[in-house]
Structure 1
Amino acid sequence: MSAIFVDADACPVKAEVVKVAERHGLPVTFVANGGLRPSRDPMIRNIVVTGKFDAADDWIVDNAVAGDIAVTADVPLAARLVEKGIHTLGPTGRPFTPETIGMAVAMRNLKQDLREAGEIKGYNPGFTPRDRSAFLQALDQTVRRALREKQEKD
Structure 2
Amino acid sequence: MSLYVDADACPVKDECTRAAERLGVRVFVVCNGGLRPSAHPLVETVFVPDGPDEADKWIAERAGPGDVVVTGDIPLAAKCVASGAAVLKHDGEALTPANIGNVLAMRDLMADLRSADPFRQGGGRAFTKADRGRFSAALDRALRMAGAAR
Q: Which residue of 1 aligns with 2:126?
A: 126
Q: Aligned equivalents of 1:51 and 1:132: distance in 2?
A: 29
Q: Aligned equivalents of 1:121 and 1:105: distance in 2?
A: 22
Contact in 2 for aligned 1:69/1:143 (Cα 8 Å): yes
SS state at 2:58 partner: helix
TM-score, normalising length: structure 2 = 0.95
For 1:1-154, what aligned pairs fall within 5 Å after superposition? 2-118=1-117, 120-121=120-121, 123-150=123-150
After superposition, the C-alpha distances for 1:65-121 in whole angstroms (9 at most, x for unaligned) are 221000000000000000000000000001000001000000000000011011843
Q: CA deviation at 1:48?
A: 0.8
Q: CA deviation at 1:122?
A: 5.1
Contact in 2 for aligned 1:115/1:122 (Cα 8 Å): no
Q: Aligned equivalents of 2:102 and 2:122: distance in 1?
A: 19
Which region of structure 1 is more displaced relative to structure 2, 20-29 or 120-129? 120-129
Moved over 6 A (4+): none
Q: Aligned equivalents of 2:62 and 2:106: distance in 1?
A: 27
Which region of structure 1 is more displaced relative to structure 2, 38-47 or 113-122? 113-122
Structure 1, unmatched stretches of 5+, are none
Q: CA deviation at 1:13?
A: 0.2
Which region of structure 1 is more displaced relative to structure 2, 32-41 or 67-76? 32-41
Q: Which amino acid aligns with 2:39?
A: R
Q: Aligned equivalents of 2:121 and 2:5: distance in 1?
A: 27
TM-score, normalising length: structure 1 = 0.93
Change in Cα spacing, 1:123 to 1:105, as seen in structure 2 (3 Å) is same
SS state at 1:61 partner: helix
SS state at 1:4 partner: strand
Q: Aligned equivalents of 2:29 and 2:37: distance in 1?
A: 10
Q: Which amino acid aligns with 2:135?
A: F
Q: Aligned equivalents of 2:121 and 2:74: distance in 1?
A: 19
SS state at 1:98 partner: coil
